Amino acid sequence: MDEGKRRVKAVFGTREISEDPAFERDFSVYIRNAFSSEEVCAVFDRFRDGETRLDFLMRRIILKALVKYLGNDVTVSPGFFIRHPETVELGDGVFIGNNTFIQGRYDGYCQIGNRVWIGPGSYFDARALVIEDFVGWGPGAKVLGSEHTGYPVDIPVIQTDLVVRPVRICKGSDIGTNAVLLPGVTIGAGALVGAGAVVTSDVEPNTVVAGVPARFLKKRE
């Protein structure tokens, strides 16, 4: 059954983080001060889908001018979309996979820690979101930060008020491919959420959960 199975060393989580060259910081400061956010976003669009080293460099420089904070050695892959970047903070060594979408809110916050790996096709309803250091975020995984009340019942649900609930993914946890985290949940440090799980309540530290809805499977000991 395990024929062909092999164990290899982790790369992303153990690599050294390089400090960004001074010219990147200086250029991003110039862009931020010289142009409106609308103009900067328009320029970002020009480099959004490119695969060359210059495209990767320009995405990082321009993103540094847009967001609240951007750490060193951040990788911004093609197809990255962000709304309300002024509320977003990203730490050192963050990897953002292809076609990731961060949906911020003008009065919200999104704090992503150091060495967070975000897989391709991920979605963040980042209205009140904290992702701590060394979190792995599987391809296609999603987090929702708000939901409609559904009341009063005589109007369409989409017209009812939104309730924003903070979401926290604690240090060293791992979110499986295509998992969904619902508003208000906390994923404890070192927890493991299985692929395709729908997390409706808090997950204790160093536990493994899976399923729809996600249920406790075992402790990581």
Q: What would the pLDDT profile of 3-25 be if each residue is shown by its tens digit?
A: 888 888 888 888 899 999 999 99
Domain 68-219 class, CATH top level: mainly beta
Q: What does the alpha-carbon distance between residue 214 and residue 53 come to, in Å, rounded to a whole number?
A: 40
Per DSSP, the three-state class of 108 is strand
Helices (H) and strands (E) in the chain, counts: 3, 20
Tell whether omega for the bond before 166 is within 30 degrees of 0, i.e. cis.
no
| Mean per-residue pLDDT, 167-185 | 98
pLDDT digits (tens, 9 = 90+) for 189-202: 999 999 999 999 99
For the cut 90, the answer to whether the pLDDT of residue 1 exceeds it is: no
First CA to last CA across the chain, in angstroms? 25
pLDDT digits (tens, 9 = 90+) for 120-148: 999 999 999 999 999 999 999 999 999 99
For the cut 70, the answer to whether the pLDDT of residue 150 exceeds it is: yes
Its pTM stands at: 0.93
pLDDT digits (tens, 9 = 90+) for 204-216: 999 999 999 999 9
- Residue 151 DSSP symbol: -
Q: What does the alpha-carbon distance between residue 149 and residue 164 come to, in Å, rounded to a whole number?
A: 10
Q: What does the alpha-carbon distance between residue 78 and residue 42 come to, in Å, rounded to a whole number?
A: 15
Per DSSP, the residues of 25-89 read HHHHHHHHHHS-HHHHHHHHHHHTT--SHHHHHHHHHHHHHHSSEE-SS-EE-TT-EEESGGGEE
Q: What does the alpha-carbon distance between residue 18 and residue 128 come to, in Å, rounded to a whole number?
A: 29
The confidence score (pLDDT) of residue 75 equals 97
| Mean per-residue pLDDT, 148-176 | 96
The confidence score (pLDDT) of residue 4 equals 84
Q: What does the alpha-carbon distance between residue 82 and residue 101 come to, in Å, rounded to a whole number?
A: 6
For the cut 80, the answer to whether the pLDDT of residue 2 exceeds it is: no
Contact 147, 184 (CB under 8 A): no
Domain residue spans of the chain: 19-66, 68-219
pLDDT digits (tens, 9 = 90+) for 39-55: 999 999 999 999 999 99
The confidence score (pLDDT) of residue 100 equals 98
Q: What does the alpha-carbon distance between residue 169 and residue 110 come to, in Å, rounded to a whole number?
A: 12
